[in-house]
Amino acid sequence: DGFLHFRTGTCLFNSTKADDIAYIDSYYLNKLKIISFDSRVGKFVGYTELGVSNAKRWNEGPEVIQTRNEKERYCVNNVGLDYRTGLAKS
C-alpha cells in the first residue's frame, strides 16, 4: 500500500555532437508519466492535471533554466564515453 514516485533522466544521442543530443527528464507517479522536460522542446510538458499545473509553474520559474542546463552538464559531458563504449561493444 502506498504510492510510487520516480524520476528518469535520459540522454538520447546518435553522435557526440551537442546538436545530436537530447535530454529528457520525466516524472512518474504510480507508473503514469505526469510531467516531462525534453531539451528539443525546451520546456516542461504535463500529461495529467497535476503535471499540467506543475509544467505551467516550472516553465515560468527558475526550474526551466536549470533543467535546460542539464543537457550540457549531464549528457554532453558523458556521451563521448558512452558513445566510445557502445562502439567498442558492437
Q: Beta strand 32-38 with 21-29: parallel, antiparallel or unpaired? A: antiparallel
pLDDT tens digits in sequence order for the chain, 90 residues long: 778 999 999 999 888 888 889 999 999 999 899 999 999 999 999 999 999 999 999 999 999 999 999 999 989 888 888 777 776 666
Enumerate domains of the chain plus CATH numbers. 5-87 (3.10.320.10)
How much is the pLDDT for 89?
67
User: pTM of the entire structure?
Assistant: 0.83
How much is the pLDDT for 80?
81
How much is the pLDDT for 67?
93
Closest by CA position to 16, among listed 76, 88, 85 = 76
